[in-house]
């Protein structure tokens, strides 16, 4: 999975990072996020606290270790879509193809629970996505040949990036994603009233 890095130095660096991330996740799942200090993690990984911050930007980042290059994939989905496909369809397809599988790995339940039960982690997770608003909207605007901060592109990007948050916790995530894209495609309409019981 992880490619054997070129130099020994890089390998050791990656190993250290991994040791920290592993120790952190284990302790978080065991005791809860707020009950684990950076010192605990550093001790468990047998490094100094300064080293922890050399590898991770902050305590929250220790939890979301593997979430990288999602941004690049997102942009690529827009830029390299099959000719003739609309941007909205390209985004829908990318979301359906990519995002649900993320939660399909082991420990997913515990992990999701950890995030959802820790306010600061929920907040961080939400911001992770919306942080890409600018680059996604720029890509969309580029494809359409309009200005980079075109409001309608920014709004679309933002709304699409809210989807993971909105679809989280739904029994049928696929249907949820479809429903939200339905709003973005055709506009919002009042949901049909369920039969009174």
Partner DNA sequence: TAGAAAAGTGCAACGACTCTACTTAGTGAC
Partner DNA sequence: GTCACTAAGTAGAGTCGTTGCACTTTTCTA
Candidates 33-41, 63-71, 99-107, 145-153: pick the segment binding DNA (CB under 7 A): 33-41
Burial per residue of 79-89, b for 16 or more beta-carbon CB atoms within 10 angstroms, e otherwise: eebeeeeebee
Closest separation in Å from C-beta 34 to DNA: 7
CB-neighbour burial class of residue 29 (10 A; exposed 0-12, middle 13-18, buried 19+)? middle
> Nearer to a copy of itself by C-beta: 102 or 175?
175
With 0-12 / 13-18 / 19 or more C-beta atoms within 10 angstroms meaning exposed / middle / buried, residue 53 is: middle
Any contact of residue 39 with DNA (CB under 7 A)? yes
Specify the DSSP element, H or E, that contains 77. helix 70-79
Q: Which of residues 68-87 bind a copy of itself (CB under 8 A)?
A: 86-87
Angle subtended at Cα 95 by Cα 92 and Cα 96, rounded to the nearest 5 degrees: 85
Least Å distance, CB 33 to DNA, is: 8
The 10 Å Cβ neighbour count of residue 41 is: 25
- The maximal CA–CA distance of the chain, rounded, in angstroms, is 67
- Determine, following the binding rule CB under 7 A, whether residue 31 of this chain makes contact with DNA: no
User: Could you say which residues in the range 60-119 bind DNA, by CB under 7 A?
Assistant: 60
Nearest to 25 by CA among 62, 56, 53: 62
Partner whose footprint covers residue 102, from a copy of itself, DNA, none (CB < 5 to 8 Å by kind): none
Using the rule CB under 8 A, is 185 a contact of a copy of itself? Answer: yes
What gap in Å lies between CA 69 and CA 40, rounded to an integer? 29
Stretches 17-25, 26-34, 39-47, 162-170: which one binds a copy of itself (CB under 8 A)?
162-170
Q: Which of 25, 55, 115, 173 binds DNA (CB under 7 A)?
A: 55
- Of 13-21, 27-35, 105-113, 178-186, the segment contacting a copy of itself by CB under 8 A is 178-186
Distance, in Å, from the CA atom of 28 to the CA atom of 22, rounded to the nearest integer, reads 10
State the residues that interact with a copy of itself by CB under 8 A.
86-88, 123, 126-127, 130, 144-147, 150-156, 158-159, 162, 165-166, 170, 176, 179-180, 183-191, 193-194
State the residues that interact with DNA by CB under 7 A.
7-10, 12-13, 16, 36-39, 46-51, 53-55, 57-60
């Amino acid at each position: 999975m992880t490619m054997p890095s070129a130099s020994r130095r890089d390998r050791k660096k990656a190993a250290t990072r991994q040791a920290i991330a592993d120790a952190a996740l284990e302790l978080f799942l065991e005791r809860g996020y707020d009950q684990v200090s950076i010192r605990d993690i550093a001790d468990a990984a047998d490094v100094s606290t300064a080293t922890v911050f050399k590898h991770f930007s902050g305590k929250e980042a220790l939890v979301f270790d593997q979430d990288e290059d999602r941004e690049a994939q997102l942009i690529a989905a827009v830029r390299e879509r099959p000719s003739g496909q609309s941007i909205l369809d390209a985004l829908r397809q990318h979301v359906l193809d990519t995002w649900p599988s993320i939660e399909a790995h082991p420990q997913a339940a515990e992990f999701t629970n950890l995030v959802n039960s820790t306010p600061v982690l929920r907040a961080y997770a939400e911001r992770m996505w919306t942080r890409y608003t600018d680059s996604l909207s720029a890509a969309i605007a580029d494809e359409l040949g309009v200005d980079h901060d075109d409001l309608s592109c920014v709004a679309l990007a933002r709304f699409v990036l809210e989807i993971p948050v909105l679809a989280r916790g739904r029994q049928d995530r696929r249907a949820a994603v479809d429903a939200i894209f339905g709003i973005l495609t055709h506009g919002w309409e009042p949901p049909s009233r369920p039969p009174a019981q």
